[in-house]
Amino acid sequence: MLTGIIISLGLFAMIFGIVYLHKRERMAMIERGMDPRSYKYKQQAAPYQTLKWGMLLIGAGVGLFLAFTMDRTIFASTHYENEAIYFSLIAICGGLGLFTSFHMEKKGLHNGPGQE
């Protein structure tokens, strides 16, 4: 019962905060002489965002596959549940994917376009 009350209050506070901050932002724009209706939010350029997500998901998939393979072969004789290996290998391989993505971005930014 207490959980329902806390979740309801949290949801109300979140919605109230979002609306309050949006109204405050509009008032600040009006005070500075800007027209809030004509202002459109520009999406920031993130040229390597797709690479980052792709490498993360590939790493997580490889980690999940490795954990499944290890669970069925190496740890098949044990009668214990091996949930920890799934979480750890997903995290490790996902991190390796992000690390690889970082090095690919660094190499791409350092060389510049067309200088491979």
CA distance 59 to 76: 24
* pLDDT value, residue 110: 62
CA distance 95 to 58: 11
pLDDT digits (tens, 9 = 90+) for 17-65: 999 999 998 899 889 888 888 777 666 777 788 899 999 999 999 999 9
3-state secondary structure of 36: coil
CA distance 34 to 65: 54
Mean pLDDT across the chain, nearest whole number?
Answer: 87
Averaged pLDDT for residues 63-73 = 92
* pLDDT value, residue 78: 78
Side-chain-facing half-sphere of 78: CA atoms under 13 Å: 10
Is 50 exceeded by the pLDDT of residue 8?
yes
pTM above 0.75, yes or no: no
